Amino acid sequence: MNKYKEEFIHWDVSNEMLHFDFYEEKLGPNATLDFFKTAHEIDPLATLFMNDFNVVETCVDVNSTVDSYILRLKDLKKGGATMDGIGLEGHFTVPNLPLMRAVLDKLATLGLPIWLTEIDISNTIDRQTQAIYLEQVLREGFSHPYVNGIMLWTALHPNGCYQMCLTDNNLHNLPAGDVVDKLLQEWQTEDIMEQTDDHGSYSFFGFLGEYNVKVKYGNRTINSSFSLCKSDETRHFKIHL
């Protein structure tokens, strides 16, 4: 961490701690807590994550229910750990979207940013169905207001995929790759040129972020900017010519 401090915005401090306790067995019951404290001291600007699997994927893993995740996170914070982010792996077979949404909603009550960190679909499913399920999961995650980012578990290996790849060994898109390309294009903010109504109003749905606006009326032009941030209400911006 001393080598890479201030270069990474996130650290997964002690991966999959709901399922494994190797460090506690070797170093004592407070090992993970000490890791978080040390990580924050070394790189105080980075967001520290607790990351685990089978939290959003299934409800049958007794080690990683949403309640056990919250309890472990709160225990660490109570012990003095700096815990800034929720990391949820997503190794799905057949996605249970209502369960996924309910888990995200419950974790969102903690008020921490959520990242989906290892999204893939099992290779026991044919590639076309795999792509359909991938799109469902990505749309569910992208639409949730507390999901700040999504990372795919799709590394290409010379001997083939672990579970899911976006391309074949010749870098030609597989169905899953087509889905990712489609969604990246759909979720990209582009230039829009439109006219206002008779009252000088124009409305649109936009992604969070910064917007530049150029308004023309007759021979007059004005440039302005505004930000869209998280909010439950419609945002109104007035531009005077």
The number of angstroms, rounded, from the C-alpha of 33 to the middle of its chain's C-alpha atoms is 24
118 as an active site residue: the answer is yes
For tokens 């749905």, what's the residue? 205
135 as an active site residue: the answer is no
- Cα distance between residue 11 and residue 48, in whole Å: 5
| CA distances in angstroms from 200 to 7, 204, 228, listed in the order given | 46, 14, 20
Residue 40 makes CB contacts below 8 A (sequence gap 6+) with 48, 81, 82
- Cα distance between residue 141 and residue 150, in whole Å: 8
The active-site residue, picked from 24, 25, 57, 118, is 118
Which positions are catalytic? 16, 118
